[in-house]
Amino acid sequence: MSEHKNAHPEEEILERFALGRLDEPELGELEEHLLICGHCQERLDEVTEYAGLMRVAAKRVAEEMPVEAAWRRWLRLDWLPMPAPALAGAMVILVAVLLWQPWRVAAPVEWRTVELATLRGGVAGNAGVEGFALRLRLDAEGLDTAGATAQIVSENGKSVTEMSVSLVEGKAESRYEAGLSPGQYWVRLKKADETLREYSLVVERR
């Protein structure tokens, strides 16, 4: 408008003025023009009325639109940056990783060596301890232990496990990593389904 101060402003200028979005120097020039131009004053009144009607209509539409509950939007998953199937796949992978946890290092196993030198019915040797892995050393003097196994049996005669045996420093040695609950057990040194010797094993509470 600076070149033609007497020229009528364009409709877009009047709209910006009515909405309060017109900046200097156009604002000052338009105000000067409106002071002397009745035609543009009438145009401005029409533009202002139209803008007001548009505001009322927009407000009415916003009020009439149903407000969707937050939980419905959550279930629709529209707010997510990825499609729902892709999200489901990602969740499955996440759960699998959390359950597997390949980075978790298992705590070192605590071992307890138990020397068993007496037969069943006699006095037991030193006891095992609840939860400790057992390194059983059985007195096998005079026995041929080649191919032998060590079977741990509970007090009621139920087999707990059967392990291979190796001869170490004159002892039939076998290892059971899982540990046992407190109680009375029997250890059978067996070969070809024949019990060579039986030992009493007591497991104490921690």
Of 182, 175, 202, the closest CA to residue 130 belongs to 182
Domains, the chain, with CATH or none: 1-81 (1.10.10), 111-204 (2.60.40.10)
User: Would you place residue 2 in the very low, low, confident or very high pLDDT band (cuts 50, 70, 90)?
Assistant: very low
Kindly tell me if the per-residue pLDDT of 151 is higher than 90: yes
Q: Using alpha carbons, list the distances in angstroms from residue 153 to 14, 115, 174, 200.
A: 99, 17, 14, 10
Mean pLDDT value across the chain:
79
User: Would you place residue 87 in the very low, low, confident or very high pLDDT band (cuts 50, 70, 90)?
Assistant: low
Q: What are the pLDDT digits (tens) for 26-65?
A: 888 888 888 999 899 899 888 888 888 887 877 787 776 6
For residue 7, the model assigns a pLDDT of: 82
Enumerate the H helices of the chain as residue ranges.
11-18, 26-36, 38-64, 70-76, 84-100
Stretch 160-170: mean pLDDT: 89
For residue 176, the model assigns a pLDDT of: 92
Of 66, 2, 65, the closest CA to residue 29 belongs to 2
User: Would you place residue 173 in the very low, low, confident or very high pLDDT band (cuts 50, 70, 90)?
Assistant: very high
Record the pTM: 0.47
For residues 80 and 74, give the distance between their C-alpha atoms in angstroms, rounded to a whole number.
9
Q: Which residue has the higher pLDDT, 70 or 28?
A: 28
Kindly tell me if the per-residue pLDDT of 10 is higher than 70: yes
For residue 68, the model assigns a pLDDT of: 56
Q: Which of 80-89, 90-99, 111-120 has the highest mean pLDDT?
A: 111-120
For residue 81, the model assigns a pLDDT of: 59
For residues 136 and 112, give the distance between their C-alpha atoms in angstroms, rounded to a whole number.
8
Kindly tell me if the per-residue pLDDT of 104 is higher than 60: no
